[in-house]
Amino acid sequence: MLLSKSFVPILKNNPSEAKIKSHQLMLRAGMIKQASAGIYSWLPLGFKIMKKIEEIVRQEQNKIGAQEILMPTIQSSDIWKESGRYEDYGEEMLRIKDRQNREMLYGPTNEEQVTEIFRSSLKSYKSLPQLLYHIQWKFRDEIRPRFGIMRGREFYMKDAYSFDVSDEEAFFSYNKFFLSYLRTFKRLALTAIPMAADTGPIGGNLSHEFIILADTGESKIFTDKRIFDLNSNDTELEKNSLQQMRNKFEQYYSVTDEKFNKEEFEKVVSEENRLITKGIEVGHIFYFGDKYSKAMGASVDLPGGKKDFVKMGSYGIGVSRLVGAIIEAKFDDKNEIMKWPLSVAPYDIALVPMVNKNDTSALDKAININKELIKNNIDALIDDTDENYSSKIKKMNLIGAPYQIIIGKKSEGDLLEFKEIGEETQNLSLAKIIEIIKKQKN
């Protein structure tokens, strides 16, 4: 792609309304454009990144056997009256009336809608477990939308729902999502820590928030540092193995604000392991048993002829928030260098030819290099403008393709001036560069 033809409206300076680095970068690199308070249009660069994140989230849901559906954004108030949440949800819910004067709403979450789908189709324990998810826009009329897409009013979320015959089976489903979340965030190059959390308006009593550390985060966390050394490698999708993995994480004290108890914290965590800091919530999982199935009459036939309400959990990931969360974790705002993890980078590599009006040989060379890159499935952005070197590099540093090739004096003959963004320059052949990138991609 040629930069001159791409819709990437870069800003030279930080817009004054942006208080945190993700919001600053997203505006400066032309990733989003505010439409109204807490509501954004996604421009090509930002949208491309979000779609890549979405795809990783989707793949990891599919890997645990969850099935993708798509529920509407607009819901009828009837099902919310059945669950009792129409009143309870309060002012965050955007209520709408259609031309027949029917009460509708823009979904802030989908427990009711999915329970309605389940109860009208499945009747037997033999169909369980069911893990259903969708990736859809949500609307919550947040009292203080801020930090750009981090706390928007309209935002993009993956929400999944599990249906099981017993608590034991439901914990198995819960643990599958626990594992899939660890895997998802790892592929996004984030360290997201599961923390015991309050269940809030969703209800229930078992819940974890997945939080990444960031000074600008809105969640206060209290944790035993040793939890950061854990991983979920080698966990099989099998009951015992999953429960052991969860136990491994739960052995360390790690909670958010609402669950914090000073006395307990100081008792169970030795002083050198205590960490009190802030983080960004990127995912949240809940188990709430029959809270919705009972209120809405979603039951299944059991083996002995009896009936019981299905046991449910729900599992959210903030797909749009993750774009900002990755920036908070990776953007070096002092040097104004963003380095996207290759898994979600808007481009794999930036080609920066030194172009001037009388001599297009560097640009020609870049275009030839790009042909070779395309053959190898490597997505490049070429700066074909005639701006000077330093402004070209500044722009590419904001866009954040993790690799760069500079085609100028130092890229004579077969050796190219290559660098991983923010690192030292190396002189390498194109074949070697392709090899490096392909290796990272796998």
Which stretches of the chain bind ligand ATP, using CB under 6 A? Answer: 109, 140, 142, 151-152, 155, 157, 200, 281-284, 316, 318, 320-321
Cβ 77 to Mg ion shortest distance, Å: 23
Cβ 68 to ligand ATP shortest distance, Å: 17
**From the list Mg ion, ligand ATP, none, partner contacted by residue 155 (C-beta under 5 to 8 A by kind):** ligand ATP
For residues 239 to 278, the per-residue mask of contacts with Mg ion, x marking binding by CB under 5 A and - elsewhere, is ----------------------------------------
Interaction with Mg ion in 319-378: which residues (CB under 5 A)?
none
Q: For residue 226, count CB atoms less than 10 angstroms from its CB and return exposed for 0-12, middle for 13-18, buried for 19 or more.
A: middle
Burial 243-275 (b: 16+ CB within 10 A, else e): bebbeebeebbbbbeebeeeeebeeebeeeeeb
* Residue 103, strand partner residues: 97
Interaction with Mg ion in 50-109: which residues (CB under 5 A)?
none
Give the span between the Cα atoms of 141 and 105, in whole angstroms. 11
**From the list Mg ion, ligand ATP, none, partner contacted by residue 283 (C-beta under 5 to 8 A by kind):** ligand ATP
* Residue 156, strand partner residues: 137
Cβ 372 to Mg ion shortest distance, Å: 46
Give the span between the Cα atoms of 20 and 18, in whole angstroms. 6
Interaction with Mg ion in 282-301: which residues (CB under 5 A)?
284
Give the span between the Cα atoms of 254 and 314, in whole angstroms. 21
**From the list ligand ATP, Mg ion, none, partner contacted by residue 408 (C-beta under 5 to 8 A by kind):** none
- Closer to Mg ion by Cβ: residue 242 or 317: 317
Give the span between the Cα atoms of 435 and 142, in whole angstroms. 47
Cβ 415 to ligand ATP shortest distance, Å: 45
The pairing of strands 349-353 and 380-382 is parallel
**From the list ligand ATP, Mg ion, none, partner contacted by residue 285 (C-beta under 5 to 8 A by kind):** none
**From the list ligand ATP, Mg ion, none, partner contacted by residue 279 (C-beta under 5 to 8 A by kind):** none
- Closer to ligand ATP by Cβ: residue 151 or 291: 151
* Residue 158, strand partner residues: 135, 317
* Residue 124, strand partner residues: 301
- Closer to ligand ATP by Cβ: residue 220 or 419: 220
**From the list Mg ion, ligand ATP, none, partner contacted by residue 324 (C-beta under 5 to 8 A by kind):** none
- Closer to ligand ATP by Cβ: residue 40 or 309: 40
Which of 344, 338, 337 minimizes the C-alpha distance to 322?
344
Query: Using the rule CB under 5 A, is 208 a contact of Mg ion?
Result: no
- Closer to ligand ATP by Cβ: residue 140 or 311: 140
**From the list ligand ATP, Mg ion, none, partner contacted by residue 321 (C-beta under 5 to 8 A by kind):** ligand ATP
The answer to whether 392 and 407 are in contact (CB under 8 A) is: no
- Closer to ligand ATP by Cβ: residue 200 or 297: 200
- Closer to ligand ATP by Cβ: residue 200 or 422: 200
Cβ 440 to ligand ATP shortest distance, Å: 27
Give the span between the Cα atoms of 282 and 125, in whole angstroms. 33
Cβ 196 to Mg ion shortest distance, Å: 12
- Closer to ligand ATP by Cβ: residue 155 or 418: 155
Give the span between the Cα atoms of 253 and 220, in whole angstroms. 14
Can you give the binding site for Mg ion, defined by CB under 5 A? Answer: 284
